[in-house]
């Protein structure tokens, strides 16, 4: 992260953090993909070649 700023209370305890928007957006994106990976970790896997062939056979792609 670039430049992080902390908000503190009158006792000097950190209560919040200010981060550059680019860092925050990257954090949200990472969090989204990590959550998606976790939710789908038990889903069955198929080779990409099989998926491409299936899409080609059904006419959904013409690659």
pLDDT recorded at residue 1? 57
User: Which run of H or of E encompasses 57?
Assistant: helix 48-58
pLDDT recorded at residue 57? 95
- What is the full DSSP assignment across 3-55? --EEEE-TTS-EEEEE--HHHHHHHHHHHHHHHHHHHTTTS----HHHHHHHH
Place of tokens 């992260």: 1
Which residue, 13, 16, 12, is CA-closest to 4? 16
Average pLDDT over residues 39-63: 93
**pTM of this prediction?**
0.56
pLDDT of residue 46 exceeding 60, the answer is: yes
Residue 16 and residue 27 in contact, taking contact as beta carbons nearer than 8 Å:
no
């Amino acid at each position: 992260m670039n430049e992080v700023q902390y908000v503190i209370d009158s006792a000097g305890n950190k209560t919040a953090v200010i981060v550059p928007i680019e860092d925050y957006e990257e954090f949200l994106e990472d969090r989204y993909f990590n959550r998606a990976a976790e939710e789908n970790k038990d889903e069955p896997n198929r080779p990409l070649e099989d998926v491409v062939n299936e899409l080609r056979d059904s006419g959904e792609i013409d690659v």
